[in-house]
Amino acid sequence: MRSVVWTVAFCLIAGPAMAQGPTCKSQASDKKLAGAALTSYMKKCQTDVQKTCDTQAADKKLAGAAKTSFTRKCVSDAVGS
8 Å CB contact between 81 and 23: no
pLDDT digits (tens, 9 = 90+) for 18-54: 346 789 999 999 999 999 999 999 999 999 999 999 9
Model-level pTM? Answer: 0.69
What is the pLDDT at residue 80? Answer: 87
Which of 81, 74, 79, 80 minimizes the C-alpha distance to 57?
Answer: 74
How far apart (Å, rounded) are the C-alpha atoms in residues 65 and 78? Answer: 20
8 Å CB contact between 41 and 31: yes
How far apart (Å, rounded) are the C-alpha atoms in residues 21 and 19? Answer: 6
